[in-house]
Amino acid sequence: MPPLEISDSQVSNSALRPHPDEATLKAHYILALERFIDETTAIYHGEERDLSWFPDMLAFAGRARVIAQELETKPADPFAQFDVEAQPV
């Protein structure tokens, strides 16, 4: 097999080929930027969706606190309030 002959123009073209040109770099940058914006938007909407229940949970916690306070003040026997013998006539 004869040896390969490489011209100067082929050497310079092959040397540049591994390095992307400016247009390719700009295209990759734009795609990366679009992906970053999409991911950031998705995260924002995810957090917004996750926090939408927060006011309801605060309301439930407040109601639970009221119920707990009522249970602390009531007698231990839940039917004691219906005890006819203990009620004044």
Instruction: With respect to residue 33, please indicate whether it lies within any of the assigned structural domains.
Output: yes
Alpha carbons 89 and 81: distance in angstroms, whole number: 14
pLDDT of residue 88: 58
Chain segment 2-40, per-residue pLDDT in tens: 555 555 555 555 555 556 678 888 888 888 888 888 888
Instruction: With respect to residue 6, please indicate whether it lies within any of the assigned structural domains.
Output: no
Alpha carbons 49 and 12: distance in angstroms, whole number: 55
pLDDT confidence bin for 82, thresholds 50/70/90? low
Alpha carbons 87 and 63: distance in angstroms, whole number: 30
Domain count along the chain: 1
Instruction: With respect to residue 63, please indicate whether it lies within any of the assigned structural domains.
Output: yes
Alpha carbons 52 and 12: distance in angstroms, whole number: 59
First to last CA, the chain: 122
Instruction: With respect to residue 83, please indicate whether it lies within any of the assigned structural domains.
Output: no
> Containing domain of residue 45, as a range?
20-75
Instruction: With respect to residue 25, please indicate whether it lies within any of the assigned structural domains.
Output: yes
Instruction: With respect to residue 41, please indicate whether it lies within any of the assigned structural domains.
Output: yes
pLDDT of residue 15: 52
pLDDT of residue 63: 86
Supply the pTM of this predicted model.
Answer: 0.35
Chain segment 26-80, per-residue pLDDT in tens: 888 888 888 888 888 887 777 667 677 777 878 888 888 888 888 777 666 666 6
Return phi, psi of residue 63, to 5°.
-65, -40
Instruction: With respect to residue 31, please indicate whether it lies within any of the assigned structural domains.
Output: yes
Instruction: With respect to residue 45, please indicate whether it lies within any of the assigned structural domains.
Output: yes
Residue 64 has what DSSP assignment?
H
